[in-house]
Amino acid sequence: MALTPNGWVAALIRHRLHGRPTFRPGDAIALLAIQGEVRRIGVNVNQIARALNTAVMEGKVLDLEVAYLDALRTELRAHMFTLREAFEGNLAYWAVEP
C-alpha cells in the first residue's frame, strides 16, 4: 500500500476502531472525487428520465433516447460495481483471518 510502517499501523488501528475502509490519503481523495462525479451524473440521469417522461416524442427519436438512457444506466452500474469492489477489497485487506 506504499505506507510507512507507522502509517500502516495507524491505518490498521483506524480500521479496527471505525470498521471502515482505510485508504492512503491520495487514494481517499481520488475516491471522494469519483463519488462526487458519480453522484452528479446520477442527478443528470434523473433529470433526463424526468424529461423523457414529460416530453412529447414519437417513434425513433424516443427509442433512441431511451436506448441512450439505458446504456448510460448500464455504464453507471458498472462504475458503481467497480467502486464497491475497491471498498470490499480494502476491507478484506484489513480483515483478520480467524
Reported as a single tens digit per residue, the pLDDT across 18-45 is 888 888 878 888 888 888 888 888 888 8
Question: Taking all residues of the chain, what is their mean pLDDT, rounded to a whole number?
Answer: 82
Confidence band, pLDDT 50/70/90 cuts, at residue 58: low
The beta-carbon contacts of 81-84 under 8 Å, at least 24 apart in sequence, are: 83/31, 83/34, 83/35, 83/38
Using the structure block, give the residue that is written with the C-alpha cell 481517499. 28
Q: At residue 70, does pLDDT exceed 80? A: yes
Q: At residue 98, does pLDDT exceed 70? A: no
Compute the average pLDDT of residues 59-80: 80
Task: Tell which wins on pLDDT, 52 or 89.
Answer: 89
Q: At residue 81, does pLDDT exceed 70? A: yes
Phi-psi region of 24 (alpha: psi -120 to 50; beta: other; left: phi over 0): beta
Q: At residue 59, does pLDDT exceed 70? A: no
Report the alpha-carbon distance of residue 70 to residue 26 in Å, rounded: 33
Whether 93 and 11 have beta carbons less than 8 Å apart is answered as no
Question: Buried b vs exposed e over 32-55: b needs ≥16 C-beta within 10 Å?
Answer: eeeeeeeeeeeeeeeebeeeeeee
